[in-house]
Amino acid sequence: MSMLLFLLTAAVAPALAVSHAEKDYIDDVLEPETYMEKSSFKLLRGLTNMVTSPGEIPKQMVLTIRDRGALGVPLGFLKGIGMTVMRVGIGAWETVSFPAPNSMEGDFAPIMNPEFVWNPSPPIRR
């Protein structure tokens, strides 16, 4: 009987053991309030980016005109269309995948920089 109890304990104990890293992940990332807040913000960010994506066209035109002068009008327009398509695609992905973190560490950070169309773009490096 004691041998059966020992074997049963030996079989079940590893399944019940949780490593320190897994416990921290569960406590920090999957805490219900934090998880719901971060995933719902990811959903709203995705929807917002899909709706406001046409704003990339005038934004890219202005930025390209500042950088290239008159040539910036057609280049900025084309760049704006490309950024619009990219922002819609990333917004759709974030909307569909909002329940899942973007990484195994539970990171819900934005995929695109800048996060929203109205945020300033990073400067162009030459």
Query: Quick one: pLDDT at residue 17?
Result: 52
Closest C-alpha among 121, 103, 106, 91 to residue 38: 106
What integer is the mean pLDDT of 9-15?
52
Helices (H), 17-103: 20-28, 32-52, 56-68, 72-96
What integer is the mean pLDDT of 4-11?
52
Query: Quick one: pLDDT at residue 5?
Result: 52
Instruction: Give a yes or no: residue 66 inside a domain.
Output: yes
**For the chain, how long is the longest CA-to-CA vector?**
89
Instruction: Give a yes or no: residue 24 inside a domain.
Output: no
Domain tally for the chain?
1
Instruction: Give a yes or no: residue 11 inside a domain.
Output: no
Q: Which domain holds residue 95?
A: 54-126
Instruction: Give a yes or no: residue 18 inside a domain.
Output: no
pLDDT tens string 104-123: 777 888 988 898 999 888 77
Instruction: Give a yes or no: residue 116 inside a domain.
Output: yes
pLDDT tens string 13-67: 555 555 555 555 555 555 667 888 889 999 999 999 999 999 999 999 999 999 8
Instruction: Give a yes or no: residue 17 inside a domain.
Output: no
Instruction: Give a yes or no: residue 39 inside a domain.
Output: no
What integer is the mean pLDDT of 88-113?
90
Q: What is the DSSP letter of 88?
A: H
